[in-house]
């Protein structure tokens, strides 16, 4: 029970409160009355049963209920300017007192009391206090703007008050919510300033717009009706600026004209300033809270992501100290290297590094200890199963720790190594191809030159027969031709361009047959040993090239041993697997016959071992070798689909191994045919050769052998002769000739037109015309340049003997008449050919002459005009593009003297600009054949 002293104190306090000249009450946070003094009790009797809230007008009641929850201990006193139900203006103070039974202590004083007689000023002062409380307690910027507008509107007793954001460019205001007196409509939404006057110009300059009567103010007179429509005949618009920009507006509207005293404008300015600061502060606080929450979320997400990266990363992640001790490893460490975390943490990472990489790794650790980051470092780590993985590291030091990430690049390095091998093989192949193309071109021209020299020397030999001195000189010259021919053959062999005539042979038997030849070539001071494995497989290879290769290797070995030592020749079966084939480029895995030559010579230094197969590279003293021996071996073996490998140790000797593909076919028995003497004949031979000197030499050799010889400068000319019907026994044609018609095609057409004709090809370089896969096409006969008179005679007889003889009834057995001329064309014409290219002009002339026509040749328009003036011309055949006077001009000038002259224009231009076609004017497009030419002549000469 409370003591008597406590009860006495409560009685005294109650008497004291009842004696006050103003009201005092205690309320709960919901407005329930807990205590009231006599001043309050006296007024409550008039408003029963409404209770304490019945003392106030409706607006004041709402404001009081809104303020009560905001009154908390330690938050100071809140003051409100309210109105009672009987119209008495009062000032209400609200304060929460910790420990008191009541939640809120309420003090009610009439405004006149202590206001100094200026009620409006007191209202403004109270309003500032209330606004201060609002700005302190409210968080939402929109709510702050509304509640401040409410206090302003109520204090200044205007129709409307509000706060809006501005778009100075569009000249609009956006109002989220505004306070409106009873009966006034809200302006919430978007409004355009220009719809209500020109005062926006003042606002944009930062000047407050004050209008007492919109109907008389020049800025709003024209829009007064619009302003009246929104209850704003008088108003204050106060701009709010930030960083020099017009960003917001505090506005007060009244529905009737109204004066705005200076103290009210200052009051509004003060409120606007406080409101702007509070609103921006709340927005900044809101942004900071949002940012803090976002940062917190990001931290959580990043932590989660970091943990997931650590766990799920396919790269190795480690933390170690600068003493190389591993502190933490992620699961990828175990996945890649196989070492568990328990086997790893606490150990030095050097324990896992390949021994050859430890020193480099220690050096890199030293750089990290000095604070230098590792951007890229590769080393090899041992795996738990005994293997190796290549790791590429990036690492950074921080506070005595090393944070590192490693990517397994083992597969990449293997691919790079394989790519490097492939690129080296490609470079080698490109080098071989380039040298092959070079040697092919050189060999073609070189062999043509040798053929001219050789043929003329052989013809000369007959003329100087009996002159010993001259015969000796001719013999020396022929020896030089032979050496040149061998040199060209070696170049072609290296470039894999020589024509091969492979046979299925047994290398073992082949070596035994060469044993005596090798011993004679090497001399008695070199001991030759041959080792032939039992069950040796056959191989498909050109026997003469195998002999040359083996002889070249033996001679190289002799020179390496300085003529004294041991030479071992081995032959055996070999199986080259996929791994070996992959490491050596274009080699196919499979079964091979191995031929090895081993010497006990000086050996070859490792730094030049890779160059020994290059053409013209030699380790012999100057003048003792061409550097083409091993090149020839290399090219021949590669062209045969094989492989060659060289092993050498300085001071120990050298072994060269040749691998030739196995053949499952039976061995071809090579029968030695005794060569018969030189024999000629009386058959007809057509020689097709583009080189004039070679052509004349061959014609001389054949004529000397008794043959009837026809000649042509290219395949087209040769075909024209064949088509003329002249019986021909043998076509002797160069393989490589200019023109659209290739030699193999010429041979095919020749066989079609004259069945039984023999065909013999000749060339110093065959390209791929009759050689495919390095081998002569089936049934093809080839005589390689340069050749001797004896070789030519034997080969001609060989081909003639092997051809299918004609039957007596064969219409081709005797010379046939020329192909009949096209219908309407004269059998013989006098044709003027005008062409600036001499070779083309000669070719056209030969085609026309083969048809029995008479041809006059001119190289330009001036020469053509001279012929036309001197001879009777039946037809003009002219190129369009001539030097000086073009073909069209030549034709026009000739037709001035001979209007009916038929003209045939020969041109490479399909459009033939400038040529007008008619019944006596035609065009033939280059290239063209004899049939095309004769048909075109027939078209323009019909009816002549």
Helices within 138-218 (DSSP H only): 141-156, 200-204
Is a pLDDT exceeding 50 seen at residue 211?
yes
Give per-residue pLDDT as tens, 321-334.
Answer: 988 899 999 998 99
Identify the residue with better confidence: 294 or 367.
367
Rounded distance, CA 601 to CA 604, Å?
A: 9
Is a pLDDT exceeding 70 seen at residue 484?
no
Mean pLDDT is highest, among 291-305, 374-388, 756-770, for 374-388
| Cis peptide bond prior to 849, omega within 30° of 0 | no
Is a pLDDT exceeding 80 seen at residue 822?
no
Q: Give me the chain's average pLDDT, please.
A: 79
Pick from 538, 568, 572, 575: which is nearest to 553 by CA?
568
Tokens of 331: 């699961």
Query: Considering the chain, what percentage of its residues have pLDDT values greater than 70?
Result: 80
Cβ–Cβ < 8 Å for 733, 695: no
Residue 380 confidence (pLDDT): 93
Rounded distance, CA 694 to CA 3, Å?
A: 151
Confidence of residue 496 (pLDDT cuts 50, 70, 90): low
Is a pLDDT exceeding 80 seen at residue 802?
no
Helices within 157-233 (DSSP H only): 200-204, 224-229
Residue 20 confidence (pLDDT): 74
Sheet-wide strand order for 708-712: 708-712, 684-688, 730-734, 758-763, 782-784
Is a pLDDT exceeding 70 seen at residue 804?
no
Confidence of residue 381 (pLDDT cuts 50, 70, 90): very high
Confidence of residue 809 (pLDDT cuts 50, 70, 90): very low
Helices within 527-642 (DSSP H only): 543-560, 578-583, 629-639
Query: Considering the chain, what percentage of its residues have pLDDT values greater than 90?
Result: 16
If you average pLDDT over residues 138-142, what whole number do you get?
79
Pick from 350, 444, 537: which is nearest to 743 by CA?
444
Residues 6+ apart with CB under 8 A from 743: 688, 715, 733, 734, 735, 736, 737, 761, 769, 770
Identify the residue with better confidence: 765 or 740.
740
Give per-residue pLDDT as tens, 160-171.
Answer: 999 888 998 999
Tokens of 505: 């042979």
Is a pLDDT exceeding 80 seen at residue 247?
yes
- DSSP assignment letter at 678: P
Question: Of 242-246, 352-356, 854-858, where does mean pLDDT reach its minimum?
Answer: 242-246
Task: Give the CA distances from residue 538 to residues 518, 591, 640, in Å, rounded to whole numbers and listed in that order.
Answer: 22, 11, 14
Count CA atoms closer than 13 A to 552's CA, side-chain side: 23
Tokens of 74: 């330690």
Mean pLDDT is highest, among 489-498, 508-517, 617-626, for 508-517
Rounded distance, CA 848 to CA 840, Å?
A: 12
Domains, the chain, ordered by start: 14-111 (3.30.450.20), 123-286 (3.30.450.40), 313-408 (3.30.450.20), 499-661 (3.30.565.10), 684-770+777-802 (3.40.50.2300), 830-942 (3.40.50.2300)
Question: Of 131-140, 256-265, 815-824, 886-895, where does mean pLDDT reach its minimum?
Answer: 815-824
Give per-residue pLDDT as tens, 440-470.
Answer: 666 656 666 666 676 677 667 777 777 777 7
Confidence of residue 814 (pLDDT cuts 50, 70, 90): very low
Cβ–Cβ < 8 Å for 941, 825: yes
Residue 808 confidence (pLDDT): 41
| Helix 262-312 and helix 141-156, axial crossing angle in degrees, nearest 10 | 170
Question: Of 228-237, 573-582, 770-779, where does mean pLDDT reach its minimum?
Answer: 770-779
Is a pLDDT exceeding 80 seen at residue 712?
yes
Residue 383 confidence (pLDDT): 92
Is a pLDDT exceeding 80 seen at residue 855?
yes
Task: Give the CA distances from residue 187 to residues 144, 191, 199, 272, 444, in Å, rounded to whole numbers and listed in that order.
Answer: 17, 8, 18, 19, 102
Residue 312 confidence (pLDDT): 80
Confidence of residue 810 (pLDDT cuts 50, 70, 90): very low
Rounded distance, CA 632 to CA 487, Å?
A: 10
Is a pLDDT exceeding 80 seen at residue 494?
no
Is a pLDDT exceeding 60 seen at residue 644?
yes
Is a pLDDT exceeding 70 seen at residue 911?
no
């Amino acid at each position: 029970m409370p003591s008597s002293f406590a009860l006495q104190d409560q009685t005294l306090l109650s008497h004291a409160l009842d004696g006050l000249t103003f009201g005092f009450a205690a309320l709960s946070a919901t407005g329930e009355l807990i205590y009231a003094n006599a001043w309050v009790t006296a007024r409550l009797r008039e408003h029963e049963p409404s209770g304490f809230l019945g003392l106030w007008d409706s607006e004041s009641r709402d404001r009081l209920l809104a303020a009560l929850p905001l009154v908390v201990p330690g938050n100071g006193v809140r003051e409100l300017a309210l109105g009672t139900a009987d119209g008495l203006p009062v000032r209400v103070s609200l304060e929460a007192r910790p420990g008191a039974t009541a939640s809120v202590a309420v003090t009610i004083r009439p405004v006149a009391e202590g206001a100094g007689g200026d009620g409006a000023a007191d209202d403004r002062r109270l309003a500032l206090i209330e606004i201060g409380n609002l700005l302190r307690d409210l968080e939402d910027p929109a709510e702050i703007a509304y509640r401040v507008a409410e206090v302003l509107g109520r204090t200044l007793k205007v129709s409307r008050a509000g706060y809006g954001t501005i778009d100075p460019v569009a000249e609009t205001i956006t109002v989220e919510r505004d306070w409106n007196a009873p009966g006034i409509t809200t302006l919430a939404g978007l409004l355009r300033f220009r719809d209500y006057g020109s005062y926006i110009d003042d606002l944009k300059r930062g000047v407050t717009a004050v209008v007492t009567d919109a109907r008389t103010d020049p800025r709003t007179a024209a829009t007064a009706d619009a302003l009246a429509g929104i209850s704003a005949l008088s108003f204050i618009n106060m701009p709010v600026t930030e960083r020099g920009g017009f960003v917001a507006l505090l506005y007060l509207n009244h529905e009737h004209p109204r004066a705005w005293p200076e103290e009210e404008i200052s009051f509004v300015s003060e409120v606007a300033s406080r409101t702007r600061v509070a609103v921006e502060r709340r927005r900044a606080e809101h942004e900071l809270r949002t940012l803090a929450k976002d940062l917190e979320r990001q931290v959580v997400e990043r932590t989660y992501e970091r943990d997931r990266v650590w766990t799920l990363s396919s790269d190795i992640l480690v933390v170690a100290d600068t003493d190389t001790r591993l502190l933490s490893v992620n699961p990828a460490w175990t996945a890649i290297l196989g070492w568990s975390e328990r086997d790893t943490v606490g150990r030095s990472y050097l324990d896992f590094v390949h021994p050859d990489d430890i020193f480099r790794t220690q050096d890199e650790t030293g750089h990290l200890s000095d604070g230098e980051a590792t951007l890229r470092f590769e080393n090899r780590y041992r795996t738990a199963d005994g293997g190796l993985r290549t790791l590429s590291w990036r690492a950074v030091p921080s506070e005595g720790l090393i944070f590192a990430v490693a990517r397994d690049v083992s597969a990449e390095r293997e691919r790079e190594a394989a790519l490097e091998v492939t690129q080296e093989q490609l470079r080698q192949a490109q080098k071989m191809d380039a040298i092959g193309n070079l040697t092919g071109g050189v060999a073609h021209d070189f062999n043509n030159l040798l053929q001219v020299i050789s043929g003329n020397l052989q013809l000369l030999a007959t003329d100087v027969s009996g002159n010993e001195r001259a015969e000796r000189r001719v013999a020396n010259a022929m020896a030089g031709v032979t050496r040149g021919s061998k040199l060209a053959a070696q170049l072609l062999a290296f470039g894999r361009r020589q024509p091969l005539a492979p046979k299925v042979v047994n290398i073992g038997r082949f070596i035994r047959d060469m044993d005596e030849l090798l011993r004679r070539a090497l001399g008695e001071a070199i001991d030759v040993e041959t080792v032939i494995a039992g069950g040796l497989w056959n191989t498909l290879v050109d026997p003469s090239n195998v002999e040359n290769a083996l002889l070249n290797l033996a001679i190289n070995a002799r020179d390496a041993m300085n003529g004294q030592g041991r030479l071992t020749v081995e032959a055996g079966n070999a199986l080259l697997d996929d791994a070996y084939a992959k490491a050596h480029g274009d080699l196919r895995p499979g079964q091979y016959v191995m031929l090895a030559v081993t010497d006990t010579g000086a050996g070859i230094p490792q730094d030049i071992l890779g160059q020994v197969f290059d053409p013209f590279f030699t380790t012999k003293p100057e003048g003792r070798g061409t550097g083409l021996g091993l090149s020839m071996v290399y090219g021949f073996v590669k062209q045969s689909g094989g492989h060659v490998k060289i092993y050498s140790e300085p001071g120990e000797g050298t072994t060269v191994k040749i691998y030739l593909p196995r053949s499952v076919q039976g061995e071809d028995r090579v029968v030695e045919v005794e060569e018969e003497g030189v024999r000629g004949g009386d058959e007809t031979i057509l020689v097709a050769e583009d080189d004039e000197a070679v052509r004349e030499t061959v014609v001389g050799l054949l004529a000397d052998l008794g043959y009837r010889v026809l000649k042509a400068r290219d395949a087209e000319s040769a075909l024209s002769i064949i088509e003329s019907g002249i019986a021909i026994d043998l076509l002797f044609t160069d393989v490589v000739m200019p023109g659209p018609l290739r030699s193999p095609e010429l041979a095919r057409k020749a066989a079609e037109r004259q069945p039984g004709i023999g065909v013999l090809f000749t060339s110093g370089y065959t390209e791929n015309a009759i050689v495919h896969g390095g081998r002569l096409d089936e049934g093809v006969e080839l005589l390689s340049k340069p050749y001797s008179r004896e070789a030519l005679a034997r080969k001609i007889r060989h081909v003639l003997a092997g051809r299918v003889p004609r039957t007596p009834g064969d219409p081709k057995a005797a010379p046939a008449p020329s192909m009949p001329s096209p219908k309407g064309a004269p059998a013989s014409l006098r044709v003027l050919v005008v062409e600036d290219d001499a070779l083309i002009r000669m070719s056209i002339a030969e085609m026309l002459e083969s048809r029995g026509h008479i041809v006059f040749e001119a190289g330009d328009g001036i020469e053509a005009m001279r012929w036309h003036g001197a001879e009777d011309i039946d037809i003009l055949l002219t190129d369009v593009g001539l030097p000086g006077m073009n073909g069209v001009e030549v034709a026009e000038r000739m037709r001035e003297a001979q209007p009916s002259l038929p003209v045939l224009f020969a041109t490479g231009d399909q459009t033939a600009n400038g040529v007008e076609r008619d019944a006596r004017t035609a065009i033939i497009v280059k290239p063209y054949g004899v049939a095309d030419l004769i048909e075109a002549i027939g078209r323009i000469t019909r009816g002549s």
